[in-house]
Amino acid sequence: MLANVRMGELKVADTLGDELAVVGLGSCIALALCDSEAPVAGLAHVVLSTSPGGGSDQPGKYADTAVPALLAAVLGAGARRRRLRAVLIGGARMFATGLDIGARNAEAVTAALTSAGIPISATDVGGIRGRTARVQVGGEVTSQMAGLERNVLLVLGRAVLA
């Protein structure tokens, strides 16, 4: 089964071979949390770095709410905290003027993961090109820039590109 994770969403899969994907990442961050031994993986499509003061009905939309929400979801599906590995994909600078939203998103997700004690195994962030992120439960986490080959970032909890 392939599940597309849209802007502000987070999804968890716990069936070996199932796939989660974010297509067309620009300044957003796809945050993957994978159990290195059990068939559990989650993916959040983080749009902005900080939630408004009153919270949000879409916890996956903001870095400061997406990390704890995704963490709770994968743990609830059977993952073990000590075996979790994080991968960040996206965070491109899509516009030459104004704020670098992509860099701010990557920094905010990194800070939230550090605060939660979750190690980052691999990243593919920055630049000026969009990407697609894919997470296969029990398989690989990959990133693919538009028009280029797919890069394998994590295989069963082992970083292969950082």
User: How do residues 132-160 score in pLDDT, each as one tens digit?
Assistant: 999 999 999 999 998 889 999 999 644 44
Residue 5's SS3 state is coil
| Tens digits of residue pLDDT in 109-134 | 999 999 999 999 999 999 999 999 99
- In angstroms, the CA 59 to CA 53 distance is 13
DSSP 36: S
Longest CA–CA span in the chain (Å) reads: 44
| Tens digits of residue pLDDT in 96-110 | 777 889 999 999 999
pTM for the whole structure: 0.92
Give catalytic status of residue 28 as yes or no: yes
Non-local CB neighbours of 144 within 8 Å, separated by 6+ positions: 131, 132, 134, 150, 151
- List 20, 28, 41, 70, catalytic entry: 28
pLDDT value, residue 160? 47
* Main-chain phi, psi angles of 12, to 5 degrees: -125, 140
DSSP 119: P
pLDDT value, residue 18? 94
Domains of the chain as residue ranges with CATH: 2-159 (3.30.1330.200)
